[in-house]
Amino acid sequence: MPIINLEEFLQKKVDEYDQPSFIAADPVCIPHRFTKRQDIEIAGFFAAIFAWGNRTTIINKSTELMKLMDDAPYDFCLHHSDNDLKKLLSFKHRTFNPTDLLYFISFFKHHYSSNQSLETAFTKWISNNADEPVEEALNGFYQYFFSLEDVPKRTLKHIASPAKKATCKRLCMYLRWMVRQDSHGVDFGLWKKISPSKLLIPLDVHVARVSRQFGMLHRTQTDWQAVRELTAELRKMDPADPCKYDYALFALGVLEKF
């Protein structure tokens, strides 16, 4: 049966999947286990960075890491001892290894030693009246994240940036979690310095495939330019909350195999 009204169809899918029932089987369940703002931010960041491949594996590995951090990631990052760090030396998720993990923890200790929230690690790079503030935030965050001494070269691959033409899918998803105001409680809406209207769609091969089938994405490469193109189309349907359609496009591509 042909889809007569794409906007209505996608909204129906948003309503179907943007529900508390979505949380348990998605990596967003990891930050939902915490109540302290900083724990949510750190747990969410790791869950987002680990989010490629099988969702069950992502959740299991994120859970494993949280247990290694005594289910108190903020306190662990700020107050760990050398012996505490030794517990982490067996941790590995795909290409993410202990070298990467120790650097991430060093960054969090550095940042939270003088900041109450991870929000500033992104937002302090945004210029006044920026056309795409999230693009500036992601490029600035990349430079800031790797500003500590002795950055392992292998760790660079785990943080994407628009400057490198990457889709930044995992970081865009993380920003959706932290920024988007969600009446159903899946996304947290903790951060207020970026408007949900300025969020950019988390784009992977599945979302790109569905979007091309619907004629919303014409660019053949799945890169940062494609992110901007698709988000522009979604803003036409809902200028205030374009990333709500991530639920629809992700579900159609991954869960429903559209």
In the block, residue with structure tokens 């998605």: 26
**Three-class SS of residue 96?**
strand
**127: region left, alpha or beta (phi > 0 left; psi from -120 to 50 alpha):** beta
Closest CA to 66 of 33, 99, 106: 33
CA separation for the pair 42, 19 (Å, rounded)? 23
> Helical H runs in 69-97?
73-79, 82-86
pLDDT digits (tens, 9 = 90+) for 85-116: 999 999 999 999 999 999 999 999 999 999 99
Q: Which residues of the chain have pLDDT under 50?
A: 1
**Three-class SS of residue 93?**
strand
| Phi–psi pair at 157, nearest 5 degrees | -70, -15
Closest CA to 10 of 243, 206, 221, 170: 243
CA separation for the pair 159, 166 (Å, rounded)? 10
| pTM (global) more than 0.85 | yes
* pLDDT at position 146: 98
